[in-house]
Amino acid sequence: MSETNGTILSVNNLKTYFQTEDGVVKAVDGITFELKKGETLGIVGESGSGKSVTNLSVMRLIPEPPGKIVDGDIIFNGIDVRKLSIDEVRKIRGKRMAMIFQDPMTSLNPFLKISTQLMEVTQLHLGHSKQQAYEHAIKMLQTVGIPDAKSRLDGYPHEFSGGMRQRVMIAMALSCDPELLIADEPTTALDVTIQAQILELIKDLKTRMGTSVILITHDLGVVAGMTEKIIVMYAGKVFEQAPTKELFATPANPYTKGLLKSVPDPAHEEGTELYQIPGLPPDVAHLPPGCPFAERCERAEEICRVDYPPFVQINENHWSLCHFAKEVYAESQAHHVK
Amino acid sequence: MLSFIIRRLLLVIPMALLVVTVTWTLVRLAPGSFYSGEKTLPPAIEANIKKKYGLDKHWLEQYGLMMLNIIRLDFGDSLKYPDRNVNQIIRDHFPYSATVGILAYLLALALGLTAGIVAALKQNSAFDYGSMTFAMLGLSVPNFVLGPILVSVFSLTLYMFPPARFGGFMSLVLPVITLSAIYMAYIARLTRAGMLEVMRSDYIRTARAKGLSEKTVLLKHGLRGGIIPVVSFTGPALASLLAGTVVVEKVFAIPGLGNIFIQSVLNRDEPLILGIVAFLSILIMLFNLAVDISYGFLDPRIRYE
């Protein structure tokens, strides 16, 4: 392996645009982040903020056309993913970086047996014979906690419950022991008790196998206990980036504060309304000149609507895209100390 | 599965009888009869004819006798060709229709599926636009136009194929192409639409994320779901191809069943009409059953009990 200083993935100024009839949609517009070996990174944001597109770009799974990675570097273990031919990308996909998707109901092929879908990965990447792949598939199903793995292997996806299907997806993704696992809203389509089980499973497997994980979600509750650091995305931009603890304690961006305030709290007083950020995410095809969040921001001032905000460094690992980042941070600190 | 098939097969009998009943009613409700011509017959002769063919009996009795024959699969004698019975006519002419029909079906399937899959894979490419324009043409040009055009170009100008008369492989080429054109076009469009939809689905993204080659993604993961709409179309398509088409049989002088069928209606040849209707309706129901069974093989979520 090349010199990477323990960095498994570094994304630098990534820009992925989509050509639509409505104009160019800048789904991801200058994203930069780094993931160290064994680390878990959370990417948080509302629908359409560019979380999924960021990660599909990393896997080079953006449908082209209409999409295109127009700029930036994606360095995976020292390999410049953008410069690889599609055949070289295929050698990495599923083997060294794997992905699990939001909806396990539609992400497994309904026409093929679970065994076929599991076995084809290791047959392709690890050169397994049928027998080896079959045994490996059983082992993987056991690893993800599917009881009676051997007989379930012959089943079809529709014979599995939602939670079990997501376990199969995870087994499939981890079949070749990848260095990077991207989990795109892995629990969104599942009910709450199953959510906890799946998250626990990912956490457990990650420590056992030493996989680095990117966890995409719109649920701050999910990332809180899972990640070391968090990126908050809005309108294709990184709005705030910080270690998880710090982000929750002292957010330096009004958008993050809004997100945190809208998480339901069990201690919440009955009768009072749950906070929600006013308005809707902007149309990324027609962004206003100033801060994309200005229209919905409680503390927006004139400058926010006119000038694009700077990416302010609060401390070594904490960044925020806001004209008033330092002020917001100071307020959070004051509030936190109280 | 077996009990499903048996139940469906048993259902064919009442369905066929129902179709025959409706047909019989329609034939009887239409004014005129097989013996009526431009001249009105003297009443005595008419009474004799009625007596000979049992038309003087009460209609309920006539219906009963007709049904009894149908159930015994004996459709009686043709009124127009008294020396041949209906079963024999079907047996003589159906093979011609079937030969042309099956070949047309296979051609439509082979070319239609290929064109559709490639067009979907290379969406918005020159091939896609080209083949879909061609398919649109195939759908829009009626076979009574296509047939004569093919004859005048390939038979009368280039002398490559015989213009008419049935005999040997060469004589089959033009009628098969003419007959299959519209089905080929339809299958190509269905395949393209089906494949495009499937290739956008989540599980195809999963397959790509596994690092599978585009060929594997397409053939192993995409094809089955993509061709399901085609399968539902091909059952009825095969039935109507086998039934023969009047136009193609007329243009290429093929002694098939389609022509006989139309003639029987014009002649008010009741036994022949009912015989062919019963035969074709059974054929169509059997093909539909075959399609339903093949769904079960294509899509594991479909189970028959």
For residue B111, the SS3 value is helix
Query: Quick one: average pLDDT of B180-199?
Result: 91
Query: Quick one: average pLDDT of A187-206?
Result: 80
All residues of chain B having their beta carbon less than 8 Å from the beta carbon of residue A158 are 300-301
> Residue A1: what pLDDT?
42
All residues of chain B having their beta carbon less than 8 Å from the beta carbon of residue A120 are 210, 212, 216, 220
State the average pLDDT for chain B.
Answer: 85
Residue A3 has pLDDT above 50, yes or no: no
Percent of chain A's residues with pLDDT above 70? 97
- Give per-residue pLDDT as tens, A15-28: 888 888 878 888 88
State the average pLDDT for chain A.
Answer: 84
Query: CB–CB of A241/A231 below 8 Å?
Result: yes
Supply the DSSP symbol for A179. Answer: S
Considering only the beta carbons, identify the residue of A101, A111, A172 that sits closest to B202. Answer: A101
Q: Which residues contact B197 (CB under 8 A, 6 or more apart)?
A: B226
Considering only the beta carbons, identify the residue of A103, A113, A124 that sits closest to B202. Answer: A103
Considering only CA atoms, which of A171, A126, A89, A182 is closest in space to residue B208? Answer: A89
Find the closest chain B residue to A102 by CA distance: B202
- Give per-residue pLDDT as tens, A251-305: 888 888 888 888 777 776 677 777 888 888 877 777 778 888 888 888 888 888 8
Query: Quick one: average pLDDT of B204-208?
Result: 90
Structure tokens at B134: 């061609």
Mutate to test the interface with A, among B122, B196, B199, B203 (most CBs of A within 10 A): B203
> Residue B115: what pLDDT?
92
Considering only CA atoms, which of B14, B185, B8 is closest in space to residue B112? Answer: B185
- ipTM of this complex: 0.83
- Give per-residue pLDDT as tens, B144-166: 888 888 888 888 888 877 777 77
All residues of chain A having their beta carbon less than 8 Å from the beta carbon of residue B201 are 106
More confidently predicted of B41 and A125: A125
Residue B194 to chain A, least CA–CA distance (Å)? 15
Neighbours of A4 (CB within 10 A): 16
Query: CB–CB of A242/A329 below 8 Å?
Result: no
Query: Quick one: average pLDDT of A67-76?
Result: 86
Residue B205 to residue A169, Cβ atoms within 8 A: no
Over the Cα atoms of chain B, what is R_g? Answer: 24
> Residue A304: what pLDDT?
84
The 10 Å CB-count burial string (b at 16+, else e) for B193-232 is bbbbebbebbbbbbbbbbbbeeebbbebbbbbbbbbbbbb
Give the predicted TM-score (pTM) of the model: 0.77
Torsion region of A136: left, alpha or beta (phi above 0 gives left; psi -120 to 50 gives alpha): alpha
What is d(CA A117, CA A20) in angstroms, rounded to the nearest whole number? 34
Pairing mode of beta strands A67-76, A7-20: antiparallel
**Which domains are assigned to chain B?**
89-266 (1.10.3720.10)
> Residue A337: what pLDDT?
65
Residue B135 to chain A, least CA–CA distance (Å)? 25
> Would you call A6 exposed, middle or buried from its count of C-beta atoms within 10 A (0-12, 13-18, 19+)?
exposed
